[in-house]
Every structure is written in structure tokens, then in C-alpha cells.
Amino acid sequence: MLKRLSCFLVVVAALQFTVAACAQNSGPGIFDSHTNVGAVKHKGEVMYNAAKQQYTISGSGTNIWANTDEFHFVWKKLKGDFILRTNAEFIGKGVELHRKWGFMVRKTLEGNSAHVNAVVHGDGLTSLQYRKTAGAVTEEQKSTVTFAGVIQLERKGNTYTMSAAKKGDVFGPEEKVDLDLGDEVYVGLFVCSHNPDVTEKAIFSNVRIVSPAPADLVPYKKYLGSAIEILDMETQHSRIIYQSPKSLQAPNWTKDNKSLIYNSDGTLYKYSLASNTPVPLNTNPAKNNNNDHVISFDGKMLTISSGDGGPSIGYTVPVNGGEAKAVTTKGVGASYMHGWSPDGKYLVFCGERKGEYDVYRIPSGGGPEERLTTTPGLDDGPEYTPNGKYIYFNSVRSGLMQVWRMDADGKNQVQITNDDYNNWFPHVSPDGKWIVYITFLKNEVAPGDHPFYKHVYIRVMPVTGGPSKVVAYLYGGQGTINTPSWSPDSKHIAFVSNSDLLFPVFPIAKN
């Protein structure tokens, strides 16, 4: 199964150059600079909170409309395709109903420049606005979403697409426009007060500028760079803590709250949250490890998956590294390890046997395996609840990939999610209250696949049932959250996002 192949990263010289160039950036956060655009009376400002990775922008200006604009702009020059995304909100009640915040792409910094922007107004109006040529009249496409808290503006060639959502919702219907602004453009955040005598403020978080996979990228042969992010589940604010031009995948949070364990290029690494330093783990003789690795409930052991020259088999190994002991049998089919029972006696995994992928359990010390699912089609991602009563997994049996639950012995299999998306890898929080999972769009991804480099959501739902809420909007997929990544206190998760263009928000890997 291609999705499980280990990662052999080919790091192109262009990406390495981009990282080096970005490291010299002296602007606020990931941006080059900031400036007033147009004849603004009051100078705007930006404050960057490095600890929270948030931007507070103050701006004045008559409007962003008609033939010319006045506003404050925090910008970076970019070429090629990109995805711009941010959460934001105004600070205070404000004066004008049409004060504005948003993400903009601009040909020049002149007030009458051609541009396109995804904008949220003070009265809730959310729209895609654009001026096709310098000095032309601004045009607008209104979104059905109002009072958006999350906006995304994507460029593919000369097509610009806006997506918007209220915080916690999936994106609503897209708005698109074809517009030639040239290859090199100014991209950035903006605030406009809609009143020349007034200054307004907005705070921006989860600000991302993503360079997506090129059309000719060959999956599992070439890879984009990676960012490990820590998400606060209460606020939905995410911080990038580590970046690499390599493919990093599937961070597990250790039970002592000190480290993350992830895989990269066939090796497992233990990443210290205190020193921001990864150290390779010894897993001999398992050397070609993939992103199916899970820490036991007591924090002492790992179960890992390794396919050194053949189908993946399961191993156990001490959490700090050591000799890996084979658990599943070589030659019977691939085995991808996903969960421990709370008492440490059993492992559950996705096993390929005679062309069918099902959930199996096996004693953690090795022994006969037991098939728990028998429905034709892919069953994957099994994981025990902390009380050991249930196993959650994902299955394509109902048409789309959805989250399911069964008793620990495989009985009473019940569908938990039932929507128009493909939902993978349910992870139950350590306190047993929540399920977090990753969602792929059905127009991008087939139900039985979870590839790299797609638009995905991370969503959460109560373990007792109820509506799901989006907690992260990102570009990722394979390797983002394949394995359990909750913090021990159930307040945070770790995940991986991807981009071909890396900004040094935090330490960049040197290897």
C-alpha cells in the first residue's frame, strides 16, 4: 500500500536556498516589512508576539474600494502559487460598519494598484474583492459566510480562490476570480478603518503562507518541508515549534510531557520540547520505520512499523530506544501498528491479509493474531479508549471513509461520523472525553487514500457523540496526525503541516 511506504526525501537545492534566504528576513514575523498604502492620515503599526506567533495590526484609511485604497499593510514578496490563511478578529467595538481586515495580494504598493483580497468587514460581510488593473473600479463577490473568523486565499496560476468560515466550521462555498497580477506580488495582512480620522486594530493568529506541491511532484519520491505545530485545543491557536526541509511525520507526545516522537527518512526521532532538539532513536534491527508508531499507556514502550525491503511488520521497542522485537509475522502480509491496550497486553493494527485490510489484535509479546473486522474494504487506524472498553477505527465500508467504534473484542461495530467528508485516524484524548481526527475533502481525495499535501481539517468531537468542530485548517495529510498526539493533560495536540517554502518561525532543522 503506497500510503505506507517509508520516506526517502529528496531535498532540492532550490528549497535549501529558500530556507537560507528566509532566515535573513528582518521584518515582523514571517513578513518582510509593513507600510501605509495610499494617503493615510494616521500611521499604522504592527506588533508581533513571537511567543504566541500573533500579529496585532492597527490601521486607518478611508477605504479599500473604488479607484484607490488607504490602509495599513504587513507584506512579503512572493512568486509562484501559494495558499494564504489566517484567523483574525477586531479588537473593540469599532466606529465604522465597514472597517476591514483580511489577506491581500497586490501588484504594487501604490494606492491604485491592481489587487485581490479576502476581506471581513465590521458588519460581518465577507467577500472577495479585486481591482483588475491600476486605477480600475474595485469589484466584489460576496460570500455566503458572514462574520468569518478564518479566511484563506489561494493562487493557482492566475486563478485566485477565497474560502471563508466561522471559527470551528468547515469552509463555505468558494469565490473565484481570474486575475493577472504578475508572478512576483506583495502578499500580506491588512487593516482599514473605513474612516480617515479613526484607527482600528485587529489581531491575527494561525497566520500561514504555504507554497504547495508543484504539479509534477511524484508522491513518495519527492517531499515538501514540514512544520511541527502545537495546537491549544481551547483557543485553537497553533504555534510552529520546529521546521525542516525534510518530511517529518506523526508526532507522538510522551507521557512525561517532555518530548515528541516522530519519524523522518526511515528513522524515529525523540524531540525535546525544552531544547527544541531531535535525537535519533535506536530501533535496530528495524531500520526503515514509517509513521505508524504508538507509545504504550504507561509511557514505557513503543510499537512501531518497519518495512525494511518488504511489507511492513510490527515491533515493540523501549520508548528511549533499544533492541526492537518483532511482534507480527513476516511474510503473511503488511502490518501497520496503531494502538496499545491500556493494560499493555495487546496491540491493535491494520493488517493486509490476502488483499484485504482489516483491524487485528495480537498479544504485545507476540502470538496468534485475531481478526476483528471482516467487512470488505479498508479498515484502518484502530485505537483503544483509555478505559479499554472500545476500539475506535476508520472504515470505508459506508462509501466514504468514516470513524467507527467497536467493543474491544470486535463486537458491536457502530458508525460514529456520517458526513460528506473522508475522516481518518480517530484519537481519543487521555481524559477519555474527546476524539480528534483528520478530514480530507472528497473532491480531492479518494475514500481509501490519505495522501500528502492536501487541504485538510483537524476536527474534534465529544466521545459521547455530538457535532464535530474544526480546530485546525491546514495543508498536510499523510503524516499530519496518523498516530495519537494528545498531550498528557488533554489540552494540546501536536501535528505536522507542510510547505515547499519555509519561514523560520522557530528553529530550522540543520540535518
For 441-486, what is each residue's pLDDT tens digit?
999 999 999 999 999 999 999 998 899 999 999 999 999 999 999 9
Cα(501)–Cα(22) distance, rounded to whole angstroms? 9
pLDDT for position 15 = 31
The arrangement of strands across the sheet holding 414-415 comes to 379-384, 390-395, 402-407, 414-415
Cβ contacts of 72 within 8 Å, gap of 6 or more: 34, 35, 36, 37, 40, 44, 45, 46, 57, 58, 59, 60, 61, 190, 191, 192
Fill in the DSSP letter of residue 4.
G
Question: What is the structure's pLDDT at 502?
Answer: 64
| Burial label, 287 (beta-carbon count in 10 A; 0-12, 13-18, 19+) | middle
Q: What is the pLDDT of residue 89?
A: 98
Q: Locate 178 and state its grid cell.
A: 481570474
Residue 388 Rama label (left phi>0; alpha psi -120 to 50; beta): left
Burial 502-511 (b: 16+ CB within 10 A, else e): bbebbebbee
Q: What is the pLDDT of residue 19?
A: 34
Whole-angstrom CA distances from 168 to 164, 172, 235, 469, 471 are 11, 12, 10, 5, 6
pLDDT in tens, 300-343: 999 999 997 789 999 999 999 999 999 999 999 999 999 999 99
Q: Cβ(435)–Cβ(484) under 8 Å? A: no
| pLDDT tens per residue across all 511 residues of the chain | 333 333 322 222 233 323 333 333 468 999 999 999 999 999 999 999 999 999 999 999 999 999 999 999 999 999 999 999 999 999 999 999 999 999 999 999 999 999 999 999 999 999 999 999 999 999 999 999 999 999 999 999 999 999 999 999 999 999 999 999 999 999 999 999 999 999 999 999 999 999 999 999 998 899 999 999 999 999 999 999 999 999 999 999 999 999 999 999 999 999 999 999 999 999 999 999 999 999 999 999 999 999 977 899 999 999 999 999 999 999 999 999 999 999 999 999 999 999 999 999 999 999 999 999 999 999 999 999 999 999 999 999 999 999 999 999 999 999 999 999 999 999 999 999 999 999 999 999 999 999 999 999 999 999 988 999 999 999 999 999 999 999 999 999 999 999 997 666 666 665 4
> What is the residue whose three cell numbers read 474560502?
163
Spatial distance between the Cα atoms of 452 and 429, rounded to a whole number of angstroms? 25
Look at residue 46 in the predicted model and tell me its pLDDT: 98
Helices (H), 335-464: none
Cα–Cα distance between 477 and 486 in angstroms, integer? Answer: 17
Q: Tell me the domain boundaries of the chain.
A: 2-6+212-499, 31-210
Distance, in Å, from the CA atom of 224 to the CA atom of 392, rounded to the nearest integer, reads: 30
Yes or no: say if 475 and 163 are a contact pair by the CB < 8 Å rule.
no
| CATH of range 2-6+212-499; options 2.120.10.30, 1.10.3720.10, 1.10.260.40, 2.40.10.10 | 2.120.10.30
Rounded to two decimals, the pTM is 0.93
Distances (CA, A) of 295 to 205, 255, 336, 463, 479: 31, 8, 14, 21, 16
Gap between the Cα atoms of 349 and 382, Å rounded: 6
C-alpha 33/C-alpha 22 separation (Å) is 13
Find, among 67, 84, 89, the residue nearest to 133 by Cα: 67
pLDDT score, position 17:
29
E strand or H helix at 469: strand 469-476
**Segment (H or E) for 21:** helix 13-22
CATH of the domain spanning 31-210:
2.60.120.200
CA angle, 160 as apex, 169 and 441 as ends, to 5°? 40
Is 2-6+212-499's fold the same as 31-210's? no
Amino acid at 419: D
User: CA dist 97 to 120, 193, 429, Å?
Assistant: 11, 9, 41
C-alpha pair distances (Å), 142 with each of 87, 102, 125: 19, 14, 7
Contact 317, 326 (CB under 8 A): no
In a 3-state reduction of DSSP, which class is residue 19? helix
User: CB–CB of 328/362 below 8 Å?
Assistant: yes
Nearest Cα residue to 333 out of 304, 356, 364: 356
Confidence at residue 310, expressed as pLDDT on a 0 to 100 scale: 86
